[in-house]
Structure 1
Amino acid sequence: MVSIFAVAGIYSSRITAITGNKVLIKSPPEPNGRTEGGSGKGKYLIYWPHRPQRNNAFANYARDCYTDAKYQTERCKTFVKHQLARYIDRNASYPSDSSLCKADTGNIRIDTGLLDSHWDLGINAPPPGRIRFRHVLHCAPLSFDGHVWQENLMDSESSLLFSFYDYGHRRSGAVGNQIPMMNYTFAEADNALSLIYEDGWWVHSFAKYDVWSIAATSKRLDGVGPWTPIEGLQQDDSDVTIAFMSTRNILYSDSVDDPWFAAHGKGIYLAGDQNFQTYTADEVASPLGCTTQVQVCSNTQCSRRTGLLDMLSVGARETLIFPGEMSEEQRNFTVGFTRFFTSSAVDQLFQTLGGETLLERCSLNSGLQVGLPVNQWQLEVEHWSATLLASIQGTVIDYETGPSDPLLLPYLPRPQTKQQNTAHTNFSLLGLCITFSIGALILTAETLLECVYVRLLWKGRDFHQYQRLEWCVNGTLQLQRLAHEQIGCGQWMQCDEDVPVVKDGGSLALLDLGDPKHLRLRGREEGKGEEGGSSSSSSGYSDGLEGMESELESVVGCARVSLMHLDFGISHDAGIQTGAAAAGRESVSPTSEYRVLPSSVVYGPIDDLRDT
């Protein structure tokens, strides 16, 4: 029985252990069947300013929460999972032409594997309606060989040296206009160190990081978009993005061997306690190539891998190709799920945040950057990946809760989802019901067993009577009853049960404070005082008995106690010494030293004892 209660005590604690703060959000239906949309001027004036704010929030969340658990803050409990799973390969090869990369290996590939829309994102749906998805980001620093040239651009008053980077031609305007293609991808003015001096002072207001990007779809949608990558960059099953980072007059405290942040040019000396050498970037701009690939699975089959921009450019219904037939409902749900990838394109991250996407900007002060590790670019890509995954998590919540600005509603359709919220707490209702039910059964059984066993069986003759009465009388209430009744206070009932009861009109004893260090109970009537306290032992046995009676009556005050026999240490066989035999001894008072034998105490009138 003890082991059963021990096991029950251990597992009952799990009722509170499995509590959480996940809440289910239920949004009102979209009015008039409205779905994601919006175009024209309103899209640029309303929706586009909202994107940088959210991307900045996602980047901050990624920096705080896609780290070790011990460094996470309270804000990391916003989503169902504080971070989505990732598999990072830091020694990957480039997916296509390796001659375009600075190294054949040592590149980075981040694959989420198949994530579940219910367990990982909290989208509330039955198992047949759940979606699994995959996001793959693959990046490598690109080589400059044969892709960079310099040219002076002049106007009527001055000329400035520019570096041109050619990784495919691009248009300078929107797709579909008549602006011709340009024969380069990106152009940046060379750093002129003389520009950062003014009257001998180092002017650092121009020193900052900047990231500019351009992206293209896969070969399946060749020609869609403003940029046509060179052969070897564009893939069949993924889109491609190039990020150009310019350092803009940043000085490094040490030389940097990182392939994307490479800095070995000799810079100026800084005045201070001691002068030291600084370094400048090797190139005006440094390109980094990335491919993005996604895959969506229903409960029965997975789509073919495709580029993320393919879905965003022409729609998921045309680009998500499944090997088998799907019902219209399944396809609509699958296609609708892809809207959560809207903000997970890496080029849109650069377009909204630019140089703010870099982690190393946090250690840039007054134009001076401390030395960087050789794998700094990989740390940056990992941060971008975390930001993109956080954007998927956050977009799900944004779609569900809705924006604070009602003008954004046309761009944010909403399903039903779960979210963590510290304002609410979940608990196991089933566990509580089981606990209360079992507890009620135990209490009911205990009451019935006590009624049957104690009131019926124990009342029988010779059925463990002594054990039952001993157990009963040692109870707290019965011990208190014995103390009061022993000095004659109160008339008691139910003296053989758990709870004794004093009859109506009865009074209990008071606390005697005569000796605070030796408290006793006394009756409510005052004592009658000591009588015969100086009687000699020579007065005989009866005189001593009368003196003892008076002494006891003055002590108890509530009842008259008679003694059948007192033991003064005098042998009864020798008789009682009187007269001269006792003259040579000191007089002994009957109350000086004596003990009352338990077997000789009886209750009854004093007169009856005197007659004996």
Structure 2
Amino acid sequence: MDTFSQNNKTVAYNIYTGYWINWSKGHTLGATITLDRRDGSLLIAFLAMFVSVVGTSFWRISCLAFHSLYSTEAAQDALYHQRQAILRNSANSTSGLWSLLNVLWVWRRSAAQIKFTRTRPYQRILPIIGLAAICIGGFGTAGTFSSSISTAMGNEVLVRSPTCGLLQINSETTDMQSAATYLYPFGAELTNTYTNYARNCITDVSDLASCKAFIKRQLPTKIDRNASCPFQDGICKLDYGNIVFDTGYLDSHFDFGINAPPNERILFRRISSCAPIKTDGYQKPYQDPETRENYTRYYYTTSSQNEQGSDESFTYEYPQLSQRSIPEQGFNAMGGGKDYTIGVSSTYTFNGSYSSPPGLSLIPIPELEQPDADIHIIFLSANRILYAQIVDDPWFSAHRSSYTMKADSEYSGNTTTYQKDEPVSALACSIKEQYCDPSLPSGSQCTRFGGSTESYILAHYLAQSTKKRNIFDWISLTINVRSGSMATVPAYLEAASLAARYKLRVGYSGQLPDNQWQMEVESWHASSLATLQGAIADTAKGLSDLNLERWLVKANNTEERNICHNQKIQNSDYFNISVFGLCFTLVLGTIVICLSYTLEPMISWIQRSRNLDVYARLEWNTNETLQLQRLAHEELGAGVWNGCASNVPFTKSGERLAVLDLEDKDHPRLKAPPKTFEETQLAEMPKSNS
């Protein structure tokens, strides 16, 4: 079972073994049997042996054909008869090849002495040697590659679980304490797991086994790193150099691994646009009347009840940090703030208007509004982190000279450190989604773009049948509820989502590139797509924590159950057997084997019934080992023989046949047996010395 590590937990996928159809290869070629390693190994071993038997049978059929082709009533030389005997009696292509090579070796120098031969030995033997070599090579290779019946089907397997379902809050599961204890941490765990997957498997291109679980290692995305400001002019820090991600149309079958025929597939598209935005003109100082603590409040949203800039409609606030004035500081001193702080504010569009998380009623300011997209603002504070070099990145920007770090005994020279230009910087992202039904007529296949919640509703009404509506509802709800967007990554993981964090050492940072913010956003986007893949696969996998069972909504119709039972992942621990390849091999091989046993008697029966080619038939029979033995003994008058035209000749019980004459040990031959038992005894008695 493939696994993903989640802190101290292991989430395992239960793999289905049995018959199924991999629709990536079509109904016929996609018919598959998944077996565990033991059963798969036994089947592959059987197929290798079966192919070997088929090769032997094919050789026997070929021998029958060539023996009949070469058969002639005219008197022939010894080479002819030896070749015919080998064709008749070699058990397989290997023994036949060896015998033919021996014959060719012996006769190679005798060509000039053979007066009645129309061709040389090479011309008469090499074609059969070639046939034997082809049989050995062809069927040997076929036996070796019989495992291709499995490898050709790849490593795609189905996930099956009795707890396949979605995690949803409903009227019966609104206990906040339970949700805070189990449900919300579970979402953070998943985000962390698939963020690590993105870092290890996509960014670092690792070869870890866990990197090969999904149908696609990485979902495709087009990235424009020099995009114009996605919001109204004046709010972006950069006119160009912003970033846009477009996934294109992701296929539920080929990209998400939901195994389904073409008419049951859907498409999903997400476009995410991000840009660093200005804080000047969108911030105000604020003092808490109770604690007297000073804050800076940022206003990128307005309240439906309040005007922009009012104390009640602020988007984000952060305490004002006192600036320490230390003219000199040793390089190894513990200075600076040790980490970043991340905050995320989100508003969600629906039918052209916006909503925010429960308890709030914020909408984006006009400069950020996009009626078909959710708006997420990510706030970054570097606190008292000190940078070794000036940072020109628009989100991490640090140009304020801070402390002069004085070298100690281990280092030489002094260095100036820098602090972030402003306590908090902001990054705004608009995210919109779209669903399509490729089975609909062109021009009416897709919904319009909308936010994450809105697109789910639009997908529901795009479907033209109950069956397709159930498919849309299950997949879109999985995407909406379990995967989130790229803004989910910093919202859940906060500072841990930043790659810049890994350049920190006790509050000091190494040099950051000018496009560090783009690298962060690209990492979030990759993590969100990995989470999307994982959320769909994990829905089919079922629960790993029984504490979550109260929020589990299981599949309750045929389409939802089909999706649950047809989730594909990759797993190399199992064998996928091609039913087409298996049947083709077994059927064709069985035909060849059956022909090798039935072709000879069928041809013999036809020839006898119609009196056709009597010589070739009888020569085939008499060239058989037992018949050649009969001919040798019968020629000496040994035995009264029956079955002389069949496969097995026989004599009367007790009849004695010829024996070897060993007078010339270099030329052994048969001689007639003694006529009586007494003569045999006398012949075996030692001669007396007289």
Structure 1 pair 108–196 and aligned structure 2 pair: CA distance change class (3 A): farther
Q: TM-score, normalised by structure 1?
A: 0.67
2:181 is equivalent to residue 49 of structure 1? no
Q: TM-score, normalised by structure 2?
A: 0.61
Post-superposition shift, 1:443? 1.4
Deviations 1:456-489 (A, max 9, x none): 979999946999699878xxx999x9xxx9xxxx
Post-superposition shift, 1:293? 0.4
Structure 1 pair 374–412 and aligned structure 2 pair: CA distance change class (3 A): farther
Q: What secondary structure does 2:536 align onto?
A: helix
2:272 is equivalent to residue 168 of structure 1? no
2:347 is equivalent to residue 216 of structure 1? yes
**2-structure distance, mates of 1:370, 1:505:** 103
**2-structure distance, mates of 1:291, 1:130:** 27
**More divergent stretch after superposition (408-417 vs 208-217):** 408-417
Does structure 2 retain, via aligned residues, the 8 Å contact 1:239–1:310? no
Q: What secondary structure does 1:215 align onto?
A: strand
2:268 is equivalent to residue 133 of structure 1? yes
State the match for 1:89 in structure 2: 224
Post-superposition shift, 1:231? 1.5
1:330-479 matches, within 5 Å, as 330-340=468-478, 341-342=480-481, 343-414=483-554, 415=560, 416=564, 417-420=566-569, 421-451=571-601, 463=615
**2-structure distance, mates of 1:373, 1:471:** 87
Does structure 2 retain, via aligned residues, the 8 Å contact 1:400–1:413? no
Post-superposition shift, 1:200? 9.8
Post-superposition shift, 1:60? 0.8
**2-structure distance, mates of 1:284, 1:493:** 112
State the match for 2:150 in structure 1: 16
Does structure 2 retain, via aligned residues, the 8 Å contact 1:93–1:106? yes
1:450-599 matches, within 5 Å, as 450-451=600-601, 463=615, 560-562=661-663
Structure 1 pair 17–560 and aligned structure 2 pair: CA distance change class (3 A): closer
Q: What secondary structure does 2:574 align onto?
A: coil
State the match for 2:200 in structure 1: 64
**2-structure distance, mates of 1:205, 1:494:** 107
**2-structure distance, mates of 1:180, 1:120:** 46
State the match for 1:541 in structure 2: none
2:378 is equivalent to residue 243 of structure 1? yes
Supply the AA of the counterpart residue of 2:476: T
Structure 1 pair 109–128 and aligned structure 2 pair: CA distance change class (3 A): same
Post-superposition shift, 1:441? 0.6
Post-superposition shift, 1:321? 8.0
Structure 1 pair 200–128 and aligned structure 2 pair: CA distance change class (3 A): closer
Structure 1 pair 466–99 and aligned structure 2 pair: CA distance change class (3 A): same
Deviations 1:208-248 (A, max 9, x none): 12211101123722355533322110211001111011112
**More divergent stretch after superposition (448-457 vs 288-297):** 448-457
State the match for 2:239 in structure 1: 104
Post-superposition shift, 1:197? 9.7
Of the candidates 262, 265, 281, which is equivalent to residue 420 of structure 2? 281
Structure 1 pair 478–325 and aligned structure 2 pair: CA distance change class (3 A): closer
Number of aligned residue pairs: give it.
501
Post-superposition shift, 1:287? 0.9
Instruction: Report which of the two has the higher share of helix.
Output: 2
Structure 1 pair 335–133 and aligned structure 2 pair: CA distance change class (3 A): same
Q: What secondary structure does 2:345 align onto?
A: strand
Deviations 1:117-176 (A, max 9, x none): 2332233455444322111111111123323455777988xx8765443323469xx99x
Does structure 2 retain, via aligned residues, the 8 Å contact 1:221–1:310? no
Does structure 2 retain, via aligned residues, the 8 Å contact 1:237–1:307? yes
**2-structure distance, mates of 1:25, 1:196:** 62
Q: What secondary structure does 1:60 align onto?
A: helix
Does structure 2 retain, via aligned residues, the 8 Å contact 1:242–1:288? yes
Does structure 1 retain, via aligned residues, the 8 Å contact 2:660–2:671? no
Structure 1 pair 500–283 and aligned structure 2 pair: CA distance change class (3 A): farther
Of the candidates 174, 177, 190, which is equivalent to residue 39 of structure 1? 174
Of the candidates 392, 395, 414, which is equivalent to residue 260 of structure 1? 395
Post-superposition shift, 1:367? 2.3
**More divergent stretch after superposition (448-457 vs 129-138):** 448-457
Q: What secondary structure does 1:23 align onto?
A: strand
**1-structure distance, mates of 2:339, 2:382:** 6
**2-structure distance, mates of 1:427, 1:445:** 27
Q: What secondary structure does 1:263 align onto?
A: coil
**More divergent stretch after superposition (302-311 vs 198-207):** 198-207
**More divergent stretch after superposition (96-105 vs 250-259):** 250-259
**2-structure distance, mates of 1:389, 1:327:** 29
State the match for 1:532 in structure 2: none
State the match for 1:305 in structure 2: 449
Of the candidates 232, 244, 255, which is equivalent to residue 120 of structure 1? 255
Does structure 1 retain, via aligned residues, the 8 Å contact 2:315–2:345? no
**2-structure distance, mates of 1:196, 1:333:** 65
Structure 1 pair 30–321 and aligned structure 2 pair: CA distance change class (3 A): closer
Of the candidates 430, 445, 459, which is equivalent to residue 291 of structure 1? 430
Q: What secondary structure does 1:133 align onto?
A: strand
Q: What secondary structure does 1:427 align onto?
A: strand
Supply the AA of the counterpart residue of 1:431: G
**1-structure distance, mates of 2:622, 2:470:** 79
**2-structure distance, mates of 1:133, 1:191:** 48
Does structure 2 retain, via aligned residues, the 8 Å contact 1:472–1:497? no
Structure 1 pair 130–462 and aligned structure 2 pair: CA distance change class (3 A): closer
Supply the AA of the counterpart residue of 1:434: F
1:198-209 matches, within 5 Å, as 202-204=333-335, 206-209=337-340
State the match for 1:569 in structure 2: none
Structure label with greater radius of gyration: 1
Does structure 2 retain, via aligned residues, the 8 Å contact 1:562–1:605? no
Q: What secondary structure does 2:577 align onto?
A: coil
Greater relative contact order (CA < 8 Å, ≥ 6 in sequence): 2
* Structure 1: 5+ residue stretches without partners: 486-490, 507-557, 564-590, 607-612
Structure 1 pair 369–137 and aligned structure 2 pair: CA distance change class (3 A): same
State the match for 2:677 in structure 1: none
